[in-house]
Structure 1
């Protein structure tokens, strides 16, 4: 494994070209800047067509013809490999979420174990390769986004930093870390012609991050000044799981009962743990687990529900199931009612869901997000009334209940959105050109 580079002193002059990397929980995006006022997103010629969004996923499979006998792919290519041969593959998604988790040591990949930084290096290698000619020569300066608050109950920020250092050292370039919402703030500043105080709300797959930034008029010596940030490990993935937990899992037996020695007992929740991540469902397709589920089906009060769960596991339908969940979530962002439809493996599961029901399911999460916004404002030392603009970015910013939270606090006229998946990378590349780059670099303190 490549040794981590020492953190260099912040330069005072902009580099000739800078690379912004938004390494996200769900998706990653690259942007290149050759000047202080413009940045271009890097396209990828993916199997489904040209895209600027690269899925943060890895797929491994055994291959006797490659070195180490372990082949791998990343991004949309990884998903394509997994769906073609799920039983012979190991698919990893959202692996960024374990960066700050000391309990995660390594991932078991057939006969090989890989630490976080090794997984990250494999991912980066494919990311750069698939960028093709755009990154034939890497820029001398790289700006990497990092969450304000990592996912997890016991977050070790210092550990995450060491792992990031080891991961990105393979690029062999000068690397700086910047809070992700600050990248979005710098991008949004390009829209403004007057001084303003900006709140950026960035809703990713694993975390929701908030930053307050003072933006001066164009031409000012220091265009943007960070004032305060806060974050929480609740975002799009949590909202997906709320749908899974409240709507889908009861149809698969969760909350039901089974009989044992003339006693009626609740079905153990451990049977449903792996449904929290569709890629883990492939690991349930083993003789021991299927035998346990078959016994549970015979004893269950609702054997048809357990039969549905068995069908999903046996037919490797985790991706299709979560795809149906995602479609429902997106439908409820545009309509007051949504229709859930999952068809596969001999199953045909349908249900109608109202937006009000979905909002009730995520209400505890929204309350925690609101408290984190308060934390960001308090850290900046300002009241909500001092915010001139609120920039909502990230896929979950499109959820009406999320937007309503900010409308109630700041007023609809102050809200702005757009470039939900790409604004962070765009801004990070621009920050790399800033003469005051030292003011943007994330501190290395350990999260409380």
Structure 2
């Protein structure tokens, strides 16, 4: 057995685990006492501070959220930045006039992750198994670019880095529950991507417990569901679908601003001089200038995190109840409306069709039908959405569905892979 760290660097949360010497792994917690948690929010907060080198201080995880909540208008709060790793259109974010590449933000994030682990995570661990999606998020994801950026991000983090599909990590974790051979479909519903892996799991004690058969993925998951909510409940009040005057014509307001606003990885970056000046010019010519004014106010007052929290609260409530209120109050915008679960399911119906098509690709690549799957393991936060569950109940039958450790199973399994003699057998 080898010492190894499994790192699930997720769009929404990051989780780390260390392999033990009994074939399992232990989660690394962040913080102290009752406030310690195994999940570390994948977010960064920046603020100006003349007392630090470069004049810009920063924090990550729940500490980033705390800094934002203390002085929101003085901060830049960046979340879901993993979503841009494969985007060729993203070169750098300008934060307080300082450019940050993806790898710059990633390295800073890792430094803070280690600092808040209380010595439980080495500053330069040896073998590290990093989870990666089967397919990256974005309209035209460039996997080669993503790999380059990951390698730059993790270069100083470990001496031996392996990249493994995230659902394979979950498969290793789930295998510890099984006492007999099985063909298992793992479905991982993250913030940015939905990934599937089909794995043959041998009997306990076998020389190779898990053998990958096929994988497929799509850059569509929880954050896309969030966008559907924002698009229906928020953007119409910010000018989407409205008109502006150009000489003697009435033209529809371009949708680019609204697409960026509903993207958690880009919303905070809209708070720059050029974007705000463009929006103020638009406001002068808009048929409904007050709506554009609300859009500007939300950006200027750094309302991305409160909006994210309100959307997340609605999704969680609709997973337990047939209806729930959506409440948001910030930047001069106040919303309090009831939302039916059926409404939400209608909004994401097209996304679920694409996710099911991706599932079919994984089965086809493995040369299997649904009848050839013995067990289905669902993981990731969005796997708790009832419409998602019904999709798998319908395809495989409720008796074959298992879940648990929705936020931690991948890191557990990645650490277990790292303990193997040849972790490259599972590398992507």
Structure 1 and Structure 2 fold alike (TM over 0.5): yes
CA pair 381-308 structure 1, distance change in 2 beyond 3 A: same
Instruction: Determine whether 1:50 maps to 2:39.
Output: no
The match for 1:140 is: 126
Instruction: Determine whether 1:177 maps to 2:151.
Output: no
Matches of 1:47 and 1:87, distance apart in 2: 31
Mapping 1:399-410, distance limit 5 Å:
399-410=385-396
Shift of 1:47: 11
CA contact (8 A) 1:225 1:439 kept: no
The match for 2:413 is: 427
The match for 1:223 is: 209
The secondary structure found in structure 2 opposite 1:170 is: coil
Instruction: Determine whether 1:84 maps to 2:70.
Output: yes
CA contact (8 A) 1:279 1:319 kept: no
Matches of 1:69 and 1:61, distance apart in 2: 9
Which consecutive unaligned segments of at least 5 residues does structure 1 have?
A: 1-13, 443-448
- TM-score of the superposed pair, with normalisation by structure 1: 0.88
Q: Which moved more, 1:296-305 or 1:320-329?
A: 296-305
Matches of 1:100 and 1:440, distance apart in 2: 22
Instruction: Determine whether 1:125 maps to 2:111.
Output: yes
The match for 1:254 is: 240
Shift of 1:101: 2.2
What value does the CA root-mean-square deviation take over the aligned residues?
Answer: 2.5
Matches of 2:277 and 2:249, distance apart in 1: 21
CA contact (8 A) 1:37 1:190 kept: no
The match for 1:359 is: 345
Matches of 1:360 and 1:194, distance apart in 2: 40
- TM-score of the superposed pair, with normalisation by structure 2: 0.92
CA pair 104-342 structure 1, distance change in 2 beyond 3 A: closer
Q: How many residues align?
A: 428
Matches of 2:295 and 2:86, distance apart in 1: 32
The match for 1:375 is: 361
CA pair 380-287 structure 1, distance change in 2 beyond 3 A: closer
The secondary structure found in structure 2 opposite 1:237 is: helix
Shift of 1:204: 0.6
Shift of 1:261: 5.9
Q: Deviations over 1:176-217 (max 9, x none)?
A: 111100000000001111111100000111110000000111
Q: Deviations over 1:54-111 (max 9, x none)?
A: 1112222332222233322211212222333344333322222222223332222334
1:325 to 304, 311, 326: 311
Shift of 1:142: 1.1
CA contact (8 A) 1:62 1:71 kept: yes
The match for 1:277 is: 263
The match for 1:397 is: 383
Matches of 1:100 and 1:344, distance apart in 2: 32
Matches of 2:276 and 2:358, distance apart in 1: 42
The match for 2:370 is: 384
CA contact (8 A) 2:84 2:265 kept: no
The match for 2:402 is: 416
Instruction: Determine whether 1:238 maps to 2:239.
Output: no
The secondary structure found in structure 2 opposite 1:205 is: coil
The secondary structure found in structure 1 opposite 2:156 is: helix
Q: Which moved more, 1:114-123 or 1:378-387?
A: 114-123
Instruction: Determine whether 1:210 maps to 2:200.
Output: no
1:344 to 306, 330, 339: 330
The match for 1:190 is: 176
Matches of 2:205 and 2:408, distance apart in 1: 25
CA contact (8 A) 1:226 1:439 kept: no
The secondary structure found in structure 1 opposite 2:117 is: helix
Q: Which moved more, 1:323-332 or 1:301-310?
A: 301-310
1:309 to 295, 319, 322: 295
CA pair 300-69 structure 1, distance change in 2 beyond 3 A: closer
